[in-house]
Structure 1
């Protein structure tokens, strides 16, 4: 499953994502990963959630982000959920070019039974291929 939250900056998307991750951490038997572009929310997350600051890695396009996700999943087969806070902050490419990344999200979700929760800032028009995932 892929769920995308789109709204303007400052609308509370990150707080909602943190709340969801913390709530699901109490219910899930598997592991949760939270990916962000800085360390600000690290201490707001339950300590059982694996926090990753994506800027520690040289992720500069959607292909490298896919490889990054594959590395995370290959290291831990018990991951049930991945939260990505600010996809457009992590990857500085045009969101219109992310169609193949969302295809890969679908493939990973089905093959590895992983749910994705993704925050996207709605600074520009949301591409059509993302609208089917918007909560």
Structure 2
């Protein structure tokens, strides 16, 4: 399952994603991973949640981000939830590339039974690509 949260920068998406991750960690049967391009949220997460800073791995496009996701999943088959904060800050890609990325992430969620929660910064609801609208919460 993919769930996308779209709102403008500064609207509290990160705070809500951290709260969701911490709340779900209490009853989760599997492991959780929180991915961000900023290490500040790391101290706000529950101890059991693995934090990954994409800046440490030179992730900057859709292809390298998808490769990183595959690496994370292949190293731990017990992952239940993945939280991605600020996808538009992590990767710079075209509409075609983002469509392909979401198709690939959907394939991973179906194949491995993982839930993926993604925050995306948008100023206007019309900016949300159609490939992403089906996942917006």
Match 1:134 to one of 129, 133, 136: 136
Question: How many residue pairs align between the two structures?
Answer: 135
Alignment of 1:40-79 (within 5 A): 40-79=40-79
SS, match of residue 82 in structure 2: strand
Structure 2 residue aligned with 1:112: 112
SS, match of residue 52 in structure 2: strand
SS, match of residue 40 in structure 2: coil
SS, match of residue 99 in structure 1: helix
Alignment of 1:1-135 (within 5 A): 1-95=1-95, 97-123=97-123, 125-135=127-137
In the TM superposition, residue 59 of structure 1 has moved relative to its aligned partner by: 1.2
TM-score of the superposed pair, with normalisation by structure 1: 0.96
CA distance in 1, matches of 2:112, 2:123: 32
RMSD: 1.1
Unaligned runs of 5+ in 2: none
SS, match of residue 51 in structure 2: strand
Say if 1:24 and 1:40 are closer, same or farther in 2 by CA, change over 3 A.
Answer: same
TM-score of the superposed pair, with normalisation by structure 2: 0.95
CA distance in 2, matches of 1:52, 1:67: 14
